[in-house]
Every structure is written in structure tokens, then in C-alpha cells.
Chain A
Amino acid sequence: MTASARILDHFSKANGSQPIRILGASGQLGYGVPTPAFSAGLERKPHLIGCDMGSIDIGPYYLGSGELATALAATRRDLRKVMLGALKLKIPLIIGSAGSAGAKPHLEQTLAIIREIAREDGLSFRMGVLRADIERTVLKTALRSNGVVPIDGMAMLDATEVDAAANIVGQMGMSAFQRALVAGVDVVVAGRACDTAIFAALPAVAGFPIGPAQHMAKIIECASLCCVPGGRDSILATLDQEGFELESMAPQRRATPVSVAAHSLYEQSDPFTVLEPEGRLDLARATYHALDDRRTRVVGAVWEEAREPWVKIEGARHVGERAILLCGTADPRFIARHEQLLQEVESVVRDLVCEDAAEDYVLTWRVYGVNGVRMTSVTQNIPLGEAFILGECIAPTRARAAEVIRTTKQYLLHHGYEGRLSTAGNLAFPFTPPEVSVGPAYRFNVYHLMRASDLDALFPLEIETV
């Protein structure tokens, strides 16, 4: 009997009389799962271990390139820990947004690590694999029927951008995970997924109310981040027919009514609403009260089923090859005039590198100590001792980007500007070479909602015996 069949059988017999315990093991699998709290969580006999592995916050590079954001060794260590924990207790393990961005290459790399761990540790189990890649033909069909809308002022999507994207994924909701659990599995590994779906799917299949299940999921997907002090340690949620209780598995982390309520703000533009493919979570009437100084009980979340499912889709396209220049200055005259001076150097460089080639690159400056971090040009008077200068070139080829950034370095180093005293060189290099080719650059070119009448077809399930 598979783990999901065993747990669903248990709750079918309990007929609503027993709560379900869910262990939020990690909000970012692959950056380390602290063992003491995870082990303490296992001792509480949870019915599910859930782990989120990805996010869109990390930018377009990983989705575009197919690379994992986490280190291979750390990813393997974390996967092994949660696999051994779940298999020992014979409970389902669900991993969402595999490999950071959840497209095919990320999912395949994650599955390869899981199979390798199974071989090394002599483990065998039934694994549900949920793919999140959106086929270009499907997306183009949706485009033609006005079934794609931009999010937050994104441009309208067209077929050219669909073709240009290196990878396109959709965020699957809980219905995909529900299919896997009903099919009978021990482990579920999904491509790009809503973080809530990982934790809400099992309670939904087991007959728990979806509002509190989704609300619980939204909080525990970040492990103990909802506590004071917030942290990465595993968290245990106990869900019943009315609401849920939260308790961090690290004794120093307290889930208080205010800390848990405040977590609804995190990375959300609206603290009262969470949109999912299958519906909308309304938190306007949610209430939080302390059970003791470490545990909080939450009730009142309401789930409204969507009349028509919409899926958030994400895509990243290659925009060129990136080379950077790392250098610093402590010269007050240079810093005072840096804006004009950098423009002068850009012009000198352009004349040189475009003598026999098109101006096919973009050169960007970030002057740390002046304006390297703030997105707005609101100037504040900050006394400056030193400034760090990051030059960045994105060009069609690695060689072209390197050519532009190396030429730029040389002319910035020796640029003669008005009032200059330091005629031997304008820059301090922490090491040489100060120019680095950092590989391909990507940008998000798909961040849209797509109407999806058939979620099952969009996120197909494969069952694999490991």
C-alpha cells in the first residue's frame, strides 16, 4: 500500500473526527533543512511532509538557463533527509517547484538526484511526477482565443515571444497534487507549482475544508518564517474541520497571533486575498488567537471556487551574454564627477568597438556608495569615502561582451577628466583580471495568466516505480 493510500484510508475511516498534521519541512529545499527541528517534527507523527523548492523571486536566470539555484551537494543532502523521514513514517512526501524554477531541466535534475539517493540507500517507492512545462502550441492556441492576459502591466504576449522563451512553465494548483495522491504514491515531485498547493492538496482530498487548508498552506510553505524570531526550521500545522494550529519545531521560535497574521503580508501585494488556479482564498475574516506562548490557532479563512481556472505562466528568454567589471575608487574628485565621466568613457569606448561593428551591446553602471542599490534616483547626501563600480555589458556573444568590458576598463582607468589629480590611474582593482564573463543573461518575457479549462491535461501526471 502506498503512503498516500494509507493516509487517505485512515482519514476516510476517521470520518472527520481526527485532525491532520502536516510538517512544513522547508521553504527552500536545497539551502539546508535544520535537523533538530525536522527530527522533532517527525516525532509528532505527521501525515505529510511538504517542501517548496522554488520561487520567481530569484529572477529569470534559472528559469531561462535550466540551472538550479541551489548547490548539488546541499540539494542532495536535503532531499535525502526528507525522503528518509517520509519513507520511515510511511507518509507522503510532496516537493513543489522542483529545482528552483520548475521547468523540465530543473525537474529532470531533481529526479536524477532522487533516483541516485534511492539507489545508494536501497530505497524503493512509487513516485508521482507532475510536469509544469507549457507547450508552445497550447499557449499559442490560448493567445488566439484571447485566453492570455498580462499581469501587473506586463506587455501583451505574442507568438514571437512565446517562441523566444527558453522555458515556459505554469504554476499548478492543488488539483494536480490531488490527482497524484489519489493515484497512490509515496513521493510527489512537481515542476513549477503554487507553494500552497503542496500542503493543501492532501487535506483537500481527505475531506478537510479548503479555506483553512489553503490558509495553513500559505503560512507553512515558508517553514518557521511566521514565528518570532522567524527562521528556516520545520513547522507543524494541525488542521481540523474548523481551523488550524501552528507550532514551530524549533523551541525558540514562537508562533504568536501577530507574527502569524503579519506573515500574510509576506511577498503578497494583498494581505486579504490569495489567488490560486482553482479559486480565491479570502482572509478578510480570519482570526488568530494564542493557545500558549508558542502556538497560535487560526480560523475563518474562506475559499471561493473559481468559475474558470486561470494559471499563472512564467517564461524567460535569452537577451545576450554578460560580462562585468569590478573596481573601486576612493578619489573624491572622481566620485563627484562620476556621472559625466562614465558617459564620456562610454562614448570613447563606443567609437572604438563600433569602428567595424554595430552598436550591439548595452553598457550599464552601478556605482555602489552612490546609486548602486536604490531603484529611484532620489539623491540623499551620504558622506562618501569610497565607491564600488560595477560595470555590466550585455552583448550578443561572449566575445563581444568581453571586448566591450575590457576596453571600458582600460579607458575608465586612464580617463582624463577635468580637475583630475591622480594621473596614474582612476581605479583600484581588487584582483586581476577585474573583468569576468558571467554567461548568458535572461529576462522574464512571460508573466501572464492563461485560461485553462483542462488543468489535468496541462499538468500531466506520470507514475514511476523507483
Chain B
Amino acid sequence: MQLQDLAQVVRSKNAGPRRITLDVIFRNDADYQRATQSEALTAEKIAPLYGVAFDAVTVINYPLGRAIKIVVPREIMSGDPGDRDVYGAQQHTPLLRLEI
């Protein structure tokens, strides 16, 4: 199953102008458990999707919100010449097809 078929929310946004935070939120505890246990959302799997080193990726499990938070650095700072997404709100799509 792909992440886009399991998650309730897959979103991205700036966490400050130099990082993007990706939040994946699930409908229920079972879906959340399935995702966290699947090893699909690890720094090693996510890093190549964003073209960054795996040790630059942070993954935080947040059971209270049934959510997994991922933080990746931006190659281009928000609003710098050449930026493509000043708010960082459309950088979630590489996650959608991840196999869970």
C-alpha cells in the first residue's frame, strides 16, 4: 500500500526559512502503528527523495497526534533567488508513493 492511501494528512511547510517539515498524520492508531513499523519512513529512505544526506534528515514519531514528523534541510533558503516554494507547502509529493 502507498502512503497516500494510508495517511489522512501528508503535508509540508517551512520550519523556519532553512528547513522543511513534513507531517504525516494517520486516521487511527492501527494505521499509525503500521506506518511506524514498516520502516518506510526512515531517514535512509527519505533522504534520497529529497536529495540530502540521510544524517541531515530527522524523523520524530509523535503518537499523541498519530503522526510522524520529518525534517529536511532546504537546498535553497526560503525566498532566495532560485527558490521554488517560498512557504514550502508543496514539498510533500515525493512521500505520496512510498510503499508501506
Q: Mark B55-94, 1 if CB is under 8 A from A, else 0.
A: 0001010101111010101111111111111111011011
CB distance from A346 to the nearest CB of B (A): 14
Of the listed residues A267, A286, A364, the one surrounded by the most CB atoms of chain B closer than 10 A to its CB is A267
- In the complex, the answer to whether A441 meets B81 with C-beta atoms within 8 Å is yes
- In the complex, the answer to whether A364 meets B82 with C-beta atoms within 8 Å is yes
Nearest to B25 among chain A residues (CB) is A262
Query: Which residues in B have their C-beta under 8 angstroms from that of A89?
Result: none
For residue A60, CB closer than 8 A to chain B, the reply is: yes
Interface size class of B (residues with CB under 8 A): 35 or more
Contact of B79 among A59, A257, A267, A376 (CB under 8 A): A59
- In the complex, the answer to whether A319 meets B81 with C-beta atoms within 8 Å is yes
Are A288 and B17 also in contact (CB < 8 A) when A375-B84, A442-B79 are? no
For residue A362, CB closer than 8 A to chain B, the reply is: yes
CB distance from A441 to the nearest CB of B (A): 7
Within 8 A of A (CB), among B28-76: 48-51, 58, 60, 62, 64-67, 69, 71, 73-76
- In the complex, the answer to whether B65 meets A264 with C-beta atoms within 8 Å is yes
- In the complex, the answer to whether A376 meets B50 with C-beta atoms within 8 Å is yes
Of the listed residues B16, B49, B83, the one surrounded by the most CB atoms of chain A closer than 10 A to its CB is B16
Of the listed residues B48, B79, B86, B90, the one surrounded by the most CB atoms of chain A closer than 10 A to its CB is B79
- In the complex, the answer to whether B16 meets A374 with C-beta atoms within 8 Å is no
Query: Which residues in A have their C-beta under 8 angstroms from that of B9?
Result: 262
Show 22 A/B contacts (Cβ-Cβ < 8 Å), sorted by A: A59-B79, A59-B83, A61-B79, A152-B73, A153-B73, A257-B64, A258-B65, A261-B64, A265-B21, A265-B67, A268-B21, A269-B15, A269-B58, A271-B67, A364-B81, A374-B84, A376-B50, A376-B94, A378-B48, A441-B81, A442-B79, A444-B17
- In the complex, the answer to whether B87 meets A57 with C-beta atoms within 8 Å is yes
Are A58 and B86 also in contact (CB < 8 A) when A152-B73, A319-B81, A444-B17 are? yes
Query: Which residues in A have their C-beta under 8 angstroms from that of B86?
Result: 57-59
Contact of B60 among A58, A60, A262, A270 (CB under 8 A): A270
For residue A266, CB closer than 8 A to chain B, the reply is: yes
Within 8 A of A (CB), among B1-32: 9, 13-21, 23, 25
For residue A372, CB closer than 8 A to chain B, the reply is: yes
For residue A377, CB closer than 8 A to chain B, the reply is: yes
Interface size class of A (residues with CB under 8 A): 35 or more
- In the complex, the answer to whether A265 meets B79 with C-beta atoms within 8 Å is no
For residue A151, CB closer than 8 A to chain B, the reply is: yes
CB distance from A298 to the nearest CB of B (A): 11
Query: Which residues in B have their C-beta under 8 angstroms from that of A151?
Result: 16, 18
Bound CA span A152–B64, Å: 27
* B contact set with A: CB distance below 8 Å: 9, 13-21, 23, 25, 48-51, 58, 60, 62, 64-67, 69, 71, 73-88, 90-91, 93-94
CB distance from B16 to the nearest CB of A (A): 6
- In the complex, the answer to whether B90 meets A373 with C-beta atoms within 8 Å is yes
Query: Which residues in A have their C-beta under 8 angstroms from that of B66?
Result: 258, 262
Nearest to A265 among chain B residues (CB) is B23
Query: Which residues in A have their C-beta under 8 angstroms from that of B50?
Result: 375-376
For residue A447, CB closer than 8 A to chain B, the reply is: yes
Query: Which residues in B have their C-beta under 8 angstroms from that of A257?
Result: 64
- In the complex, the answer to whether A378 meets B51 with C-beta atoms within 8 Å is yes
Contact of B78 among A57, A264, A378, A394 (CB under 8 A): A57
For residue A123, CB closer than 8 A to chain B, the reply is: no
For residue A76, CB closer than 8 A to chain B, the reply is: no
Bound CA span A311–B47, Å: 31
Query: Which residues in A have their C-beta under 8 angstroms from that of B19?
Result: 152, 269
Bound CA span A442–B81, Å: 8
Are A443 and B13 also in contact (CB < 8 A) when A265-B62, A270-B60 are? no
Bound CA span A234–B74, Å: 33
Query: Which residues in A have their C-beta under 8 angstroms from that of B48?
Result: 378
Query: Which residues in B have their C-beta under 8 angstroms from that of A56?
Result: 14, 16-17, 78
CB distance from B41 to the nearest CB of A (A): 14
Nearest to A56 among chain B residues (CB) is B17
Within 8 A of B (CB), among A248-281: 257-258, 261-272
For residue A366, CB closer than 8 A to chain B, the reply is: yes
Bound CA span A269–B18, Å: 11
For residue A154, CB closer than 8 A to chain B, the reply is: yes
Are A447 and B17 also in contact (CB < 8 A) when A373-B84, A373-B90, A374-B94 are? yes
Q: Mark A199-227, 1 if CB is under 8 A from B, else 0.
A: 00000000000000000000000000000
Query: Which residues in A have their C-beta under 8 angstroms from that of B75?
Result: 375-376
Bound CA span A272–B71, Å: 14
Nearest to B29 among chain A residues (CB) is A258
